[in-house]
Structure 1
């Protein structure tokens, strides 16, 4: 099962002078919820429950949305998380830092795997598949206890963080030479290089291949590793503050161009009658083309959002600050809200593409409301 998403609240609260990071957390979290809702109703990808439309006119824009989303939002989460790790490590020291990470990341992993995941599976088993047995009867035959689901990101972030701590303990006070914030050309070259490496990785681990039980789709991990490392470097060199407006504008224009070019993939498939799987991996030029496009648009969107966020969204907002506080809760519990809502409307006799139009905003709102309630439970706010 592919459950690609990310826990934005694992990104520590930024100082007031960069409050736009809080705003970006909210935007990215909404995209997480929408991503899985689009997959539920027609976009390619795996999810606990789906009721997909068959109308090509709806499938194409849905596919564009999840493809563009996948190209940047997960990598962006790794980048932003890494940006605040060095300062937290210096402040707390290795022992306290690791303990804090194990609490913040480990407890949600255990909760999701042993509590929430069986409930989600049971809802689908009972309502969608029509097996009317009790929950306790279901648990008697349940064997998927180690299932991180959407929390695969938490597991990956914990792994990356522990590797960082190990490196710091070995390297001591060693630091890389100061590096200026990269300009457009450097970012583009880095994106192309990441795309080429991603293509090579996908010859062995194509898109859709999942490392069980961690839930890692290794086809995407080249970008995640690169952007996590870049986030660490950015933190030590103050890149968030020094990113040029000109670079952001240039990357925004590149985003527009790359979005316009997306239908070319569909044209190639139709004209050359090539299998869709050739874009997902293997020694096919289509896979190389898509991997490079994916990284180019991903790096471009991230850079543009950072630039425009600093310029336009760096103003305190009580509403957005409160919503930002709930983002980790939304991340953990939005599958419960989405699956329950989709099951509630499953017998409504309209096309799934139409359902998407009202289910998507409903799930976003209800996920934030549920998270707002959950974080008020004593003890919970210390974790999420």
Structure 2
């Protein structure tokens, strides 16, 4: 509950990514486009102008690299040196600056229509991400707001290929409605025809009432285009979600405690920002055995952690956990017993994105319980563990954005 409330309070506010002047060069403009798409992936709404946003992001070239600056009530800026990792570090620094800056007051301008952009696929000559970037620019240039698909948009713009020389671009109230009345955008020499795109976007971004009037007009001689089933097929209506990111993970690994190592399994629930802070609930289970005795340790902990995105695929994690450890044992000829201690851990790790929402997690966990443990059979020590422990684990986690 506390973690969810914290994450809601820290929910991303609208961001305006300032246009790069033409003399800034293609590299700077390309980097700006990457930042816009990455911010959308991480849940930030994009505003068409500074007066409709609570924060402004600028990317400007400097002598030995670029400067990334976030402006709200104050300004946070970072300089990134020229090098092979400049685009990746620029994305990381931009998100860090946006998280640290104090947002301006909510804009008083009339609310703009909030569009999500969904690209089903693209012709072979155009990368899907490039097509998505074009549509995002078109929406913003027409004073629309672009939001993530799971952020309760007012409308969804969808695109899919029509053969190798055209696109079907459509608008629906939800993703399920896309593809029903598509407009056609033609390609010219493997590039999007700007006149065709402008006409399509003008129609699609009109108010729904205007679209209905246009749809009732008599058909012209232009052939009716039937989109492929990729967009026209019925889709299960997804729950409209907004709020903190929720991530559930499971893992397996080894725990070493001075003289011995034990196999361990565990699971973690994280609620919060990705990247950014989050609340944690963690369960760790360590079974063990020795002659004439069986042991099962269960640790239940809570705490907070931070996630940093250092690459479109790679994230780093630092966490702090504290809770209780239940040490349960059954010795030959005796009833089962339980001992309870406090426990604390500092997990450090990295995760790697393999699909939308799905990550592989690698973690090193160092910690301590309240006391060392030992068990004796016939006055002979058959099992002992130190209070300090360190281990490693590999796991999978899946995340989504809650309501």
TM-score normalised by structure 2 residue count:
0.19
Flag the structure with more relative contact order, 1 or 2, with Cα contacts below 8 A and sequence separation at least 6. Answer: 1
Larger radius of gyration between Structure 1 and Structure 2: 2
Please state which structure has a larger fraction of its residues in strand. Answer: 2
